[in-house]
Amino acid sequence: MNLTWLMRMAKWARRPPSMLHVKIAAVAIAAVIAIVVAEKLGLWPDWARVNPRGLRHWRP
């Protein structure tokens, strides 16, 4: 662990983030987890995938 991370942890220990920032981070993490689970279960639409399966070998 380098000095930058130690300084950041010391700053957080002295002045922790507000409850609003904690809630925003929790909502963002929950959204990411929901998207990953939906994609793994096959509920995510093909048009929203990074590498859509239908257009993989398409050439004009």
pLDDT of res. 39: 87
Side-chain-side CA neighbours of 42 within 13 Å: the count stands at 0
pLDDT tens digits, residue range 15-50? Answer: 999 999 999 999 999 999 999 999 889 888 877 777
Residue 52 pLDDT > 70, yes or no? no
Residue 9 pLDDT > 60, yes or no? yes
Residue partners of 49: CB distance under 8 A and separation at least 6? 39
pLDDT of res. 53: 60
pLDDT of res. 30: 98
pLDDT of res. 54: 57
